[in-house]
Structure 1
Amino acid sequence: MRRHGAAHIGIVTYRGAQLSAALGLADLFDVAEELLAARRPEASPQLVVSRLLFDVATGVMLTEGAEETFAKAPLTAILLPPSRGEPPVGDEFAPLLPWLRAQREEGAILASVCAGAFLLARAGLLEGKPATTHWALVDDFRAMFPDIALQPDRLLVTAGDIITAGGLMAWTDLGLLIVERLFGAEAMIETARFLLIDPPGREQRYYSDFRPSRDHGDPNILKAQQWFESRLSREVSVEEMAGVAGLEQRTFLRRFQKALGLKPIEYCQQMRVAEARRRLETSAASIDQIGWECGYRDPASFRKIFLRIVGLTPADYRRRFHSGDMTTGSDQPR
């Protein structure tokens, strides 16, 4: 909940933080404050933004950017931007964790973008809560924090006053959500309209790329993977895959699940949909033709499976991500 007086948002620029995201968030909140001030000049300022620099040596959080009146004011929300490189998990970040826990106990909203979720997890603030992070960091996150209910398809996950956002550019969605949380939907929509960005509502799975493991150490399963990948357009059965792997079917199913974390039919669907996505992005072929080329003989089944995995219909996906001109010719999206 918003505290008395102006809402005070702190953006933590830890070492390695993506400064473009931190500065972009600051600009978004500045725009929101200007729009709020135009509507209620007598109440300004309603929103104050500070850049927070944590001094590892002293354990003191240094405040930049805020007026002196607000520099020591309680923080309404604390945002952890993405990391430009590896996730912030080294020992150097350990002194920051008690400060985050203390701020949570004082009632601040805590939010992260992308790899910032690793800091919330290390601070113990995601225990028993759903969360998300960048889809490319899912395996690392799950290895470090196996008990956290990660939802990698989601771009934004809220758990009370703990909020996590997925990909690097999800800071726009997070910033608008914070504006909505503090000042209502009208202020959020007004800010989004001014900045020409979409209100929150996207999903990370629109953008994620299925990357099957090939370093699982099971040569029989790898052989079946490679065989299937060369036959995406053909119908294949679990029995055939087991035969290629040289394994009895029950043993194959058990080892496949252990190596890849998916059942063979789930793996085949993920691989086929990944290939369909690439073709929808670059090809002018009809959607039915692309489905056929990716192993789907029934167009309705293709659309249903694509929607379940991606969160968009093939036509909507093509409209969002196609790289060329689809406005002419007979091969328009269907």
Structure 2
Amino acid sequence: MSSNFVIELPCLPESAVGHALHLVEMLRSANLMAGLRHGRHAPRFGWRWVDGLGRDMGERMPHGAEGAAVAGPVRALFLSSLQCPDIPAIREIVAAHGPLVRRTAAAFDQGLQVCTLGSAAWFAAGSGGCKGLSVALPWFYMGGFSLDFPDIALAQGRPLVQDGPWLSASHPEALVPMALALARMAFGDDLAAALGSVLQPDPPRERAAQAASLDRQLPHTRASTLAHAIAWLEARVDQPYDLRALAAAVSVSPRTLLRHFRQELGHSPLDHLHGLRCARARVLLEITLESIPSIAQACGYADPSAFRRIFARHTGMAPADYRQRHTLRAPRRRWRVDARAPGERLR
């Protein structure tokens, strides 16, 4: 099976970021399906959010850390459409972002897959890397684009065109087939077809599934040993860890349970419990003013020092630093007790 497939996502102030986010959500679905079919060692999609100068901005974007955690070289560049009123505005934006035009030219030179949506085709065409190729564009851009780039063919009536290194979509509706094309490059035809059955509407399957359900031909899915064990841990996050009790609760031996966790998740039940506890701790640090020892206790750690050490290992920062960066509460000194103006006496 192929290696990880990383996509770079430049994000400009004028970019329609929602379309890029839609693509990312489909890439996440592809990762989920790859994991279900091939386990934790399956290749994954990764993504890198960058600004117009190529600087990392993953921490500021949804699922940025998740995409950055997938190792591998960049193999594709996705340029989202631009939020602008007319074709002259598109030209001005492209002219103002010379570094991104040059990055796109470099992507063509390096053999990367360059993906564009709508008006972002001006970046690809302006890079000089797609002369003689064809492009999918909305009808209202075709006249101006032909004037600017007469040596690029317009694919009329085709919402998605893959012409060598250029994968272009005319409208947001074509993002689904674009994601499937990328999945085919990354994972092969079989997984791309399976992903298509999830992402694309299929009325005949819907009718068949409903009929089978009404005829009681679809049995209830039985939860796995691993799912039972995870649910048991989730219900006892604040309680002491007991491997034997956990194994007994799911009717397997401790050794078998450890093997299930290692094979499917790559870590032990205790590691999984630490992850659950740290997830709870993050929430408490973000939305409460409870002390660190109190939060440690609420997350199942009698020793605050052990909590700090484990939290730092899972999040990369100390609890106090995490609170300072991510808190959703104002400092206590800024709280207002009532709506009276300063100095006003209570009547």
Q: Pick from 45, 48, 51: which aligns with 1:47?
A: 45
Provide the C-alpha distance between the structure 1 equivalents of 2:146 and 2:16, rounded to a whole number of angstroms. Answer: 23
User: Do the aligned residues in 1 keep the contact of 2:12 with 2:52 (CA within 8 Å)?
Assistant: yes
**What is the CA deviation profile of residues 107-162 of structure 1, one whole-angstrom value per residue up to 9, with x for unaligned ones?**
21111111111110011122111112111111111111122111122111122121
Which residue does the alignment assign to 1:82?
Answer: 81
- Report the alpha carbon displacement of residue 70 of structure 1 after superposing the two structures with TM: 5.4
Residue type matched to 1:80 in 2? L
Provide the C-alpha distance between the structure 2 equivalents of 1:69 and 1:61, rounded to a whole number of angstroms. Answer: 13
User: Do the aligned residues in 1 keep the contact of 2:180 with 2:192 (CA within 8 Å)?
Assistant: yes
Q: For the structure 1 residues 106 and 126, does the alpha-carbon distance in structure 2 shift closer, same or farther, using more than 3 Å as the test?
A: closer
Aligned-pair RMSD on alpha carbons? 2.4
Which residue does the alignment assign to 1:117?
Answer: 121
Instruction: Please say if 1:17 is aligned against 2:19.
Output: no
Provide the C-alpha distance between the structure 1 equivalents of 2:136 and 2:81, rounded to a whole number of angstroms. Answer: 13
Instruction: Please say if 1:61 is aligned against 2:65.
Output: no
Instruction: Please say if 1:137 is aligned against 2:141.
Output: yes
Q: For the structure 1 residues 41 and 63, does the alpha-carbon distance in structure 2 shift closer, same or farther, using more than 3 Å as the test?
A: farther
Provide the C-alpha distance between the structure 1 equivalents of 2:22 and 2:126, rounded to a whole number of angstroms. Answer: 25
Provide the C-alpha distance between the structure 2 equivalents of 1:196 and 1:72, rounded to a whole number of angstroms. Answer: 29
Q: Pick from 17, 31, 48: which aligns with 1:33?
A: 31
Q: For the structure 1 residues 148 and 196, does the alpha-carbon distance in structure 2 shift closer, same or farther, using more than 3 Å as the test?
A: closer
Q: For the structure 1 residues 62 and 72, does the alpha-carbon distance in structure 2 shift closer, same or farther, using more than 3 Å as the test?
A: farther
**Residue aligned with 2:51, SS:** strand
Which residue does the alignment assign to 1:151?
Answer: 155
Higher helix share: 2
Provide the C-alpha distance between the structure 2 equivalents of 1:26 and 1:104, rounded to a whole number of angstroms. Answer: 22
Q: For the structure 1 residues 11 and 63, does the alpha-carbon distance in structure 2 shift closer, same or farther, using more than 3 Å as the test?
A: same
User: Do the aligned residues in 1 keep the contact of 2:4 with 2:186 (CA within 8 Å)?
Assistant: no
Which residue does the alignment assign to 2:168?
Answer: 164
- Report the alpha carbon displacement of residue 61 of structure 1 after superposing the two structures with TM: 3.3
What is the TM-score with the length of structure 1 in the denominator? 0.52
Aligned residues: 192
Which residue does the alignment assign to 1:243?
Answer: none
- Report the alpha carbon displacement of residue 72 of structure 1 after superposing the two structures with TM: 8.2
User: Do the aligned residues in 1 keep the contact of 2:3 with 2:186 (CA within 8 Å)?
Assistant: no
Provide the C-alpha distance between the structure 2 equivalents of 1:83 and 1:140, rounded to a whole number of angstroms. Answer: 15
Identity %: 21
Give unmatched runs, 5+ long, in structure 1: 199-334
Which residue does the alignment assign to 1:202?
Answer: none
**Residue aligned with 2:55, SS:** strand
Provide the C-alpha distance between the structure 2 equivalents of 1:66 and 1:54, rounded to a whole number of angstroms. Answer: 19
- Report the alpha carbon displacement of residue 82 of structure 1 after superposing the two structures with TM: 1.6
**What is the CA deviation profile of residues 69-128 of structure 1, one whole-angstrom value per residue up to 9, with x for unaligned ones?**
758842111111122224542221222111111222222111111111111001112211
Within 5 A, what are the aligned runs for 1:195-234? 195-197=199-201
Instruction: Please say if 1:7 is aligned against 2:2.
Output: no
Q: For the structure 1 residues 43 and 195, does the alpha-carbon distance in structure 2 shift closer, same or farther, using more than 3 Å as the test?
A: same
Within 5 A, what are the aligned runs for 1:273-288? none
User: Do the aligned residues in 2 keep the contact of 1:138 with 1:152 (CA within 8 Å)?
Assistant: no
Looking at CA atoms only, which structure, 1 or 2, has the larger radius of gyration?
A: 2
What is the TM-score with the length of structure 2 in the denominator? 0.51
Q: Pick from 98, 105, 126: which aligns with 2:102?
A: 98
Give unmatched runs, 5+ long, in structure 2: 59-63, 203-347
User: Do the aligned residues in 1 keep the contact of 2:4 with 2:71 (CA within 8 Å)?
Assistant: no
